[in-house]
Every structure is written in structure tokens, then in C-alpha cells.
Amino acid sequence: MQRNITGEETITPVIKPGHSSNGCCDHDHVEKSTDASVHNHDDHSHGSGSESWRDHWDLLTALAILLVMQVLEYGFRLKFSLLTEFLIYMPAYLLAGYKVLALALRKIKHLDFFNEFVLMSVATLGAFAIGSYSEGVAVMVFYSIGEWFQDSAVSRAKTSIKALLDIRPETVVVIRDMQAFTVKPGSVEPGEVIRVRAGENVGLDGELISASASFNTAALTGESKPDTKHAGDQVLAGMINQNSVAEIRVTALFRDSKLSRILSLVQEASARKSRTQMFISRFAKVYTPIVFALAVSLVTIPFFIAPSYEFSEWLYRGLVFLVISCPCALVVSIPLGYFGGIGLASRNGILFKGGNFLDVMAKVDTVVMDKTGTLTKGVFKVQQVFAEGDRSEQELMRLAAALESHSTHPVALAIVEYAGEDYRSVEVTKVEEISGHGLKGYADGVEILAGNARLMDMFGIFYNKEFHSITETIVLIAIDKQCAGYVTIADEIKEDALQTIHALHRMNIKTVMLSGDKQTVVDQVAGVLNIDKAFGELLPEDKVNKVQELKDQGRKIAFVGDGVNDAPVLAMADAGIAMGGLGSDAAIETADIIIQNDQPSKLVMAIRAGRITRNIVWQNITLALAVKVLVLALGAGGVASLWEAVIADVGVALLAILNAVRIQRLNL
């Protein structure tokens, strides 16, 4: 049985705002963290998703002028002089586009010519220069409406994150000098007691003092079933007290609560780009200057080769080319798709540390799992105690429990619980925990070893080899270099472990189990769960070697462990997944993906989230590129007008955004 030393670790959440300079579209609002100030970026002050219709009176007025003029010209067949059209359309153009023009000018001052604001300004001012006033206004109006909808889509995509933010109460009731005070949660120190009434959110992490209380943990774990806690159990910020008044002794500052760390984790995730996102950003940087060059070539080259060259006609074609070329649909919808995937997963109690890990999970073909705490509950119970020699079973357990009380391993805790309070009178010194083997120390002056057969072999202790045939977990105990007996301990398979393995097999994913436990125990669990391959009696370095063997075979690997003693394997796997990470600082620090409760079935959901996100992102890429190539060709050939160009550009962007937002409403 593998053992570990769990040190108390803390992390400092860093919210990375992320900055995209992707050439054409500076959609920083997609890349930024989900903080309330996300829409304050000056490049997009013209379209915050949180704004109402009244905040866009200028754009709506411009749209109304455009629609009225179209009705008069095409419905009532009224004719206007060019000067009249200019005097009517110019105010509408300025109302719709003054912010875009200002941003374009600011970019040009910084020698940044290849961006969407300059592109749209050049295209629309060019339309005015050749007398296509209505089309110039239409391009600016519909482009600005598209920006508005893009910002609104981003805002909706962050709903699940904002919901988490909203569950942190603004005040808590703290008990000081036998009196209740309502204070800000940030002012409460560890060790103080807070009172939470029925229906209220818990504001800080702590330990339940009341005899018992029932909590809704759905916001943290995605699990709707109420969780009953008893005195001494851990209670986390974000849980909702369901039935009675509960008193909780605070164990962490407000900023250090698990919920605060989870929020920081999800906020950081939006700044970590997937390979697809990075490719699109690089693509846009190269693509935009090329498009400008092609548009200029489309206007100038025909002068030398066309039999009858008319400047206004070819300038119009160049303007159409510029409008349709803007890759906004790609640059906005793709990161929005990944953010949607992160939100979908977090709503189901699965935290991705970045969009890149959604890509990885979509490609996983092998899932490697730890046994204890992943497929089994990790709640051990002593089954039998066998003493050899002169010592009684009670005396053997007293000494063993005194030594095991210095470990946090589940097996050690089981022995301590079984022994009761007798061990507390034993003086234990020089305790050494040997990873993957067990414990060594001195109890009341005698040397004592407690661990697996490898520990006995390491110190040359003779023991009965028939122990290997026992299917349960065994802890051998040696006193003064002699085997003094052993303890059998049993674990229990989790309720949804079998359905998880079956679901993975239906997805054509190979399953492998690695464990430090005895091979007989590992084989028994693997047989019950129908796992493809299972390896037992492994040290941490052996697990690393097994995973490396699979990687050498070209397998895409997700490793699922407890995030503490499996840290080396979590780090080397393509995706390291911590099971039950809600209560573990080390899991939050080490893993790429965190399953907030102990359910193996969440692993299947994580893979589905990755595959759903990948499919929708590639749908958007295919749609945007296909439409743009078609309309670019039609525009260069003089078939498509500015109207078709703007409708195609804005239409494709909106369709792609709506498709990306759809991720949030799917079920895993």
C-alpha cells in the first residue's frame, strides 16, 4: 500500500487578465478573466453585454434612419440627390461609428494599421468617397450591432462563473464575547465562530461545531443531493445550510477559502489558450496584412490589364473584399467556445485549468487510474488482527496505532480508529515514513515497523510468504526485528465506478489501473470493474515508468489520482486529473483538471465536455472559412455588394457565436 506525507500547502490565486493582440480583432473581453470589470476595456466600451437598449440610443437611431431611408427609396420609389443623401446618411454614420473611428485613429497613432477598427473605417469611408452612402452606413451599423451581440454573448457565457461569485455572501454573523455581530466575511479571523441560519450561504471555510446540519453543495460539486455534516466535519464557503441554525469555527481567511481558489482557477482558465486558439491568433496576424495587400492589388492591378478600367468600380470591389475579410467570427467565437466548455464543466463540478486541457480530453484514448480514493472509497476498516509470539492482539494494536498516528494515510487512520484511545499512553520517537512502504519508529523504546511486505524485505524481517495469497490489504507489524503479526484491512468500491468503466469502454477508451496495493487486491478490483489492465505493488517511480511506457506507444493519456502522492504521474500525463480535489490544496496546485467530488463518473463528463467543445469549435471554423472564401471570390468578381459583404460577415459571426454559446445549455 502506497503511503504519502501530506504537507499543508497554500496557493496564491493569480488572476491573469490575458491580452490578445491577434491582428484583426482585439476581442480582449473573451480572453480576460471573469471579473466584473471585464467590460471596462476601452477598445470595447461601445458594446458591453451588461448594457441595456437605452445605452445604445445612438446605434439604434442610426439603424432607424437607415431603415426609413430604405423604405422611402425602395418602397415608395423616392429619389434623393447625392447631397441630400449625404446630409441624411452622414449623421447616421457618425452615430453608429464614432467610437469605431476614434479607436481606429488611436490605433493608427500607435502604428497599428492591421486591425478591425481601421479595416471597417477604411471600408466605410471609401464607400462614402464613391457615393455609396447607404452601404457605408449599413456596414458600420451592422458591424456595431454585431459587436454588441458579441459582448452580450460573452456576458452570457460567464453566467456560471457569476453564479459562483454571487453565492459568496456579503456579510456573515460572527459570535464575539457571546454576542452576534454582522460583519464583512473578510474581517473574520481563523478560530472565530460564525452562525449560519437555514437557507443562508456559508461565508467561510470551517469546522462544524453544531451536532449536525444538512448542506446543499451543488454550487461546489455539481451534486444536488444534500450532504449531512456532523460535529468536526469540514464545511466550505458556498455551501447552503438547509434545515437548522449551524455554528462553524472558521479555519481559513475569506480570500483563502476553497471557493475563492476555485473562482480564481476558473477565471485563470480563460487566459490559457488551446492550440486551436493560438493557431487562430497567429493566423489572424498574418491574414490581416495579406488581406489589405490583396484589397489594394484588386484596385490597382486591373488598371494595367483591364481593357476598360473604372476606378470607382474596382475600389468598390476592394471595399467589399475588406469588409468580408475580417476574421471576427473566428477570433471571437473560438475562445468563446472554449470558455463555454469550461463553464459547462464547472457547472457539473469539473474544473479545467485552461482551454488547452479541453483539447487534450477530446483526444484521450487511455485513462490510467489510481485505485484507492479514485475507484474505491478510500475509507478503510480493520477486518481482523493476528498476533504472533507473546504479545496479545490488543498490545499489538496499541503499539501499531501509536506509530500510525503519525501518518495521514487512510490505512493508518483505520488502524488508529480501531485501536481506540489506548495508544495515547505510548511514547513514540524517531518516526520515519518511507514512501510506498510504511512507517518506522520507536514505541516505548522498542523498534517497530508497520507496512507492506516490501518494508519487511527492506529491513530483512522474515514473515510468512502465505500472506501474499490473502486478497485483502495487509499491514505487517514487526517489533525488534521480529514479525509480530498483521492486520487485514478492506476498502469498498465506489457506487458509480463500474458504470464509469463501461462508459469509457463505449467511448473506445482503454482503461489501466495502477496501485501500490497488493497484486491480489488489485486483480480483484480490476476483475469486478472489468478494467483492461491492472498493475499492483507499484512505488511512485514505478507508476511513472508505466505511464511512460504507454506514452511511448503513442497513447494520449489522462491520469486520475488523488493529487498528492501521485503528483509525479499527474505532472507527466497529458492531462492530470485530481479526484475529490475540493478538500485538497495539493490537488488544486498539481492537477490540470479537478473533479470536485469523489465520483468517477465525472471523468466521463470531462471527456464529453472536451469532445463537445472541439466539435462546436470546428463547426465554427468550417462555417466561417467557407462563407468568407465564397463571398471574397464573389466580391472580387464584382458579384457581391457591400450589403452582401456585411450581412455575410455579421451573419456568420452571430451564427458562430450563438453556436458557441449553445455549449452552456448542453447536458453532460
Q: How far is CA 32 from the centre of its chain?
A: 14
What's the grid cell of residue 16?
Answer: 491573469
Neighbours of 655 (CB within 10 A): 17
DSSP character at residue 127: H
What's the grid cell of residue 50?
Answer: 451588461
DSSP character at residue 327: -
Side chain identity, residue 424: R
**d(C-alpha 623, C-alpha 634), whole Å:** 17
DSSP string, 524-558: HHHHHHT-SEEE-S--HHHHHHHHHHHHHTT--EE
Instruction: Assess contact for 439 and 403: CB atoms under 8 A.
Output: yes
**DSSP H or E segment with residue 69:** helix 57-70
Q: Is 517 a catalytic residue?
A: no
Instruction: Assess contact for 470 and 370: CB atoms under 8 A.
Output: no
What's the grid cell of residue 270?
Answer: 480563460
What's the grid cell of residue 140?
Answer: 458600420
DSSP character at residue 229: E
**d(C-alpha 388, C-alpha 439), whole Å:** 20
Neighbours of 542 (CB within 10 A): 17
Q: Where are the beta strands (DSSP E) in 413-490?
A: 428-434, 438-443, 446-451, 473-479, 482-490
Catalytic choice (151, 370, 517, 585): 370
Query: Catalytic positions, please?
Result: 370
